[in-house]
Every structure is written in C-alpha cells, then in structure tokens.
Structure 1
Amino acid sequence: MAKLRKQYSKEFGKKEKVLNYATQTYQLSRPNKVGAVMALIRQCQPKTFEEWEKWYFENAVTTGKHSAKITKESLEELGERLYVKITEIVIPEWTEAFRQITLQDYIDYIYNLTIPRTYDGFIREKSVIEDNLAKIFPEVRFEESEPELDHAGDINYLGWVGEKAFGIQIKPVTAQANFGNYSVTERMKLSFEDFTQKFGGKVFVIFSVNDTIQNKEVIEQIAAEINRLNRQ
C-alpha cells in the first residue's frame, strides 16, 4: 500500500466557506497582496515544505506599481483585515439577508440564475463580439469556445489569426464594480498560460456594460496581438 503523503494545509471545516467567501470578495489572496504564489513555487521547485516556506519569504513580493516584500507580519496583517471584513461587514450583511429572505426568493433566484441570467450573458457576449470586435477586426475569425475551454479555461471566444488564435473572456462590469482593480486568479493565470501554449495567442479580459466594451484600451492590445501573430 502506498504511503499517505503528509498534508500541510490546515482544515477549517464549516468555517472554510465564509473564510473563502470573504477572502475572495475583498481580494485578500490576490497577487498584489500575497504575490504570484503558483509562479513562485514553480520557480522554487521545493523538495520539502520547509524549503518552500523559507524561499517564499525570501523572494515573494506583491505585484503592482508599488511592490513590497512579503513577510510573516504582512500575512498576519491580511488575516487581521479578513477578521475586520467578516465581523464588521459580512456577518451584519448576511444576518440582515437571512432575516429578510423568503421561500419565493429561493425559487426566483434558481429560476433567474438558470434562464434569464444565462440568456442575458449569452446575448451580451455575442454583442461584444459581433457588434464590436468583429467590426473592428474584420480579418479575424471569431468563434465561440468549446464548452470544456469555457468552463475549465475561462475562455468565451477565440479570435483566429491564420492558424493561431487569441482568447477572449467577457465579464459584465456588475461582476466587478471597479474593473480597474480586477486581477485574474492564480488558477485563471495558469489556464491562460495553457491556452497560449496551445493556440499561440494571449487571453484578453473584456468588461462590458450594455453590450459595449468599457476597458477601451483592450482594443489596442488586441490589435498589437493580431500584428504579432501575423508576423509569426
């Protein structure tokens, strides 16, 4: 029988859901807070947990314009911020929501999530491509991604430039109130890297409101990528 590998991560049981929710909601585990951890551990290639921990604190820095060295104290400070967010915001908001929610809310929510929101998202995505990008870049052949690429790789559309393609992820701004502060997760970064290795092109995140592109700078970035793919 194979020897069970020791697990170093702590189990939080039922507390995991609320801790994860607040951490993701308030972006406390993003690279601009804790560094690009998956990229760091791949650089380190540790043989032991102790080697990884030591290497992380020696090399990890926050990403962004004003990078800073990450220390045990800075991680503790993030934990304290998480405590404040949960106790002062999450718990009061959830308590009020639990007090007000009704059976009809549950029924309406499942229906709305399954049918109306799916339709709205489908139309929004098609409009971003057909009414915007396809007209700006008529030489590019846009097509919907395969289901496994959409769900696992976070890619909604492919833009074919010859035999290579770049990826498009479309997000409603309502999913990120301030899209200027949006950053992809480590998992999404890895899936984007896998896409580039397979198709040759980069992945671009587009934010839309009422079927229009809000982060206009992405158009110039896509144009540069098309030129790069054409030169290869």
Structure 2
Amino acid sequence: MAKIEIKRHSLEFGKKEKVLNYACQTYQLSRPNKVGAVMALIRECQPNTIEEWEQWYFENATTAGKNNFKITRESLEELGERLYEKITEVVIPEWQEAFSKLTKQDCYDYIYNLTINRTYDGFLREKSVINDGLAKEFPDIRFEESPEELDHAGDIDYLGIVTDDKAFGIQIKPITSKSNFGNYKPSERMQAGFNNFKREFQGNVFIVYSLDKEIANKQVIEQIRNEIERLKEL
C-alpha cells in the first residue's frame, strides 16, 4: 500500500526557530487566552483546505478567559509585534550577557546538577506531596507511580486508585514563592493526555503544586475528595 504524503503548510524559520519558540513560550504569546484553543477550534471546523480553516478561524475564534475578545488578523499582528519587542529588547540582551559569561565549568555543573541534584529534589518533592500530603488526606486511596507503559505517563506522575478499574491522576509541579500558579494552563498536548487518561480510568487529572514539599494549592484537596466520591458512585 502506497504511503500517503501529507502536504506541509508550516513555514520554516531555520536557526531562528529556537529563539522564536523560546520567546513565544516564555512570554505566553501562543496561549489560548491570546490566540484561542486552536486545536479545539480546528476540530470543530473540520476543514478540507487551509483556506477554509483560515476563513473559519477569523470568523469564529475568540480568546479564552474572562475578558475574551474576537481574534482578528490585526490582533495576531499585534502579538507578532510584542514577540519582536521581547526578543530584541529582552531576550537578545539577556542571552548576550549569558554567552559572554558562560564557561566550560558551567556546562559541566549544569549537566551534573540537572541529572543528579534536580532529579533527587524532584523525587523528594513528589514523595513528600504524596506520602505526607495526599496519602494522609485519603488513607483509603492507593497511590502508585504512573507506569512507564502508559501513553500519558510523562504528564501524570501518580495514579490515585479508587477501585480496580477507576483512578484519578496527579501531576506534581514545583513552584517558587514568587510564582503565580493560578495562571498556569496545561498545553493542548498535555490536556489531550489528560483526556486519554480519563477515557481509560474514568477519573480526572489534578495538578498539585508543591512549595517547600508541601501542597501549595490547598483547594485541590477538596476537588480530589469530590472526584473520589464521583468515581465511587459510577
């Protein structure tokens, strides 16, 4: 059977792609509250051509969030302008300073720290959130590390097993005292993984923020409690 070739419509930016992607992600210029939930929108549209998708997008797309507004070509151009300003006024000067001070020892230390220190810190953080936090709040729930064979294991750290065939998921994210976790939204890829998990285990996935090995978003405990009751009633 002949392989079907899919025509690519994405532009190629060459070596500039890394800096464009870095700045866009850092300053959250492609989030749903800026450009809409694009994957959900295109699935709703089900276009046969890129022209059909483009027209439908500008006719129907709005930003996500409380102060949502209709997306236009001008609003996308404004995001591009903001991206350019961030790169030229912030990113490039910061990188130039970093490049000028970078040493070989920094590279040695970074790889070692990433592999040993951060991994161990993450391990302790996860264990503390589960063993000292959630396991004590919900003693009847069995918490297990997400098995590697799960397609969504990279996005879900632990399973909270309610019954033999029902479970909810836990993702543990570290924050600093200066972070605002209230603004965090899972990426569309991550949300798709959460949806796949729910189809398989019937439970939702909860993001637990860890600050100094303690649960920072305390309200998630009550949300998990309600989810356990829902799963038990299924």
Give me the TM-score of the superposition, normalised by structure 2.
0.94
Q: Give the one of 165, 187, 196 matched to 1:194.
A: 196
Q: Is the 8 A contact 1:153 1:195 kept in 2?
A: no
Unpaired stretches in structure 2, ≥5 consecutive residues = none
Preserved CA contact (<8 Å) 1:161 1:229: yes
Alignment of 1:1-232 (within 5 A): 4-149=5-150, 153-162=154-163, 163-174=165-176, 177-232=179-234
Task: Please give the alpha-carbon distance, in whole angstroms, between the structure 2 residues aligned to 1:185 and 1:71.
Answer: 22
- CA distance 1:176–1:52, change in 2 (3 Å): farther
- 1:5 to partner: Cα distance: 3.2
Give the counterpart letter for 2:224 in structure 1.
Answer: I
Secondary structure of residue in 2 paired with 1:171: strand
Residues of 1 paired with 2:151 and 2:82: CA distance? Answer: 34
Unaligned runs of 5+ in 1: none
- Provide the identity percentage: 69
Q: Distance in 2 between matches of 1:12 and 1:174?
A: 34
More helix per residue: 1
Question: Contact 1:196–1:203 at 8 Å: present in 2 too?
Answer: yes
Query: C-alpha displacement at 1:179, in angstroms?
Result: 1.1
SS across alignment from 2:64: coil
CA distance in 2: counterparts of 1:142 and 1:111, whole angstroms: 30
Displacement after TM superposition at 1:66 (Å):
1.4
Query: Displacement of 1:177 after TM fit?
Result: 2.3
RMSD of equivalent CA atoms:
1.7
Question: How far apart are the structure 2 equivalents of 1:23 and 1:121?
Answer: 26
Say which is worse superposed, 162-171 or 151-160, in terms of deviation.
151-160
User: How many aligned positions are there?
Assistant: 232
Deviation at 1:101, TM superposition (A): 1.2
Question: What secondary structure sits across from 1:63 in the alignment?
Answer: coil
